[in-house]
């Protein structure tokens, strides 16, 4: 039985994680932490402010769905406590990842960071990576709910990185004049353009459009409910005790 704690338990994603963990016969939800959601109840556990609660409750793994500013400190602290981490928070820098790698290597514990826990999103990234060498142009569009504070999404960034690594034969952007500043989106690795949409009514959606002479290919993934992320979260929690160090991306655990 894996003992699990949740950081960010007062938020919608955190509460959904609590319910999913509590419903899994191989897991036991032992603590929920959220300084901004004290008293919120999910999965039969009431959220408290002090993160020490996860250690006191004997958590083997902590799932962090907070924000980057909080998670930067949380993750290093979890490593010091020798607790595995499964992380859905995004917005980390390369320097952050280097710190996490060093901290969890030293602790001989795992830190699994997934920009997206939906299996469909993991497959979307893999399909885009496979398609990249066969096309000359590509653009990535990510669409999220209006409460997401970082842009572009970690999923979009990782998708572009994988596509750029798969091919270096991308055509240059022909745009010479932007009539509205920023209309062409942000320039990612290999010059692949990334566009971010924030809108009420959405959850998480990603679209990759690839083009070559006379043809286009569109790969789209939609998460219409936060429950779509739970199978991936639970898979990462179950895998964490068997790993050490930093793992980025759910694909490494699913052999996709």
Any idea which residues carry the catalytic annotation?
144, 148
Contact between 109 and 244 under an 8 Å Cβ cutoff? The reply is: yes
3-state secondary structure string, 209-236?
Answer: EEEECCEEEEEEEEECCHHHHHHHHHHH
| Angstrom distances, CA of residue 230 to CA of 21, 200, 201 | 9, 22, 20
Q: Tokens 């959405």 label which residue?
A: 202
CA–CA separation, 59 vs 171, rounded Å?
50
CB burial class (10 A; 0-12, 13-18, 19+) of residue 177?
Answer: exposed
Query: Rounded distance, CA 247 to CA 114, Å?
Result: 8
142 vs 64, 237, 251, CA distance in Å? Answer: 22, 26, 19
Assigned token pair, 225:
């409910």
Sequence-distant (6+) residues with CB within 8 A of 108 are 82, 244
């Amino acid at each position: 039985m894996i003992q699990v704690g949740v950081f960010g338990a007062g938020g919608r994603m955190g509460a959904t994680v609590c319910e999913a963990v509590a419903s899994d016969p191989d897991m036991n939800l032992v603590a929920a932490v959220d300084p901004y959601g004290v008293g919120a109840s999910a999965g039969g556990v009431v959220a408290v402010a002090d993160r020490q609660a996860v250690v006191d409750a004997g958590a083997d793994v902590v799932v962090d769905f907070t924000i980057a500013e909080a998670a930067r400190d949380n993750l290093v602290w979890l490593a010091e406590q020798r607790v595995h981490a499964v992380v859905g928070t995004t917005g980390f820098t390369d320097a952050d990842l280097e710190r996490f790698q060093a901290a969890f290597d030293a602790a001989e514990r795992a830190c699994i960071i997934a920009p997206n826990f939906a299996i469909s999103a993991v497959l979307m990234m893999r399909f885009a990576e496979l398609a990249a060498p066969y096309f000359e142009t590509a653009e990535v569009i990510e669409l999220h709910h209006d409460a997401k504070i970082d842009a572009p999404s970690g999923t979009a960034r990782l998708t572009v990185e994988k596509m750029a690594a798969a091919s270096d034969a991308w055509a240059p952007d022909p745009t010479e004049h932007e009539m509205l500043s920023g209309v062409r989106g942000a320039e990612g690795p290999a010059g692949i353009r990334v566009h971010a949409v924030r809108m009420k009514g959405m959850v998480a959606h990603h679209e990759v459009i690839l083009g070559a002479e006379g043809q286009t290919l569109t790969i789209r993934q939609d998460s219409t409910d936060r429950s779509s992320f739970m199978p991936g979260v639970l898979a990462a929690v179950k895998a964490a005790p068997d790993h050490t160090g930093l793992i980025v991306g759910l694909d490494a655990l699913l052999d996709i």
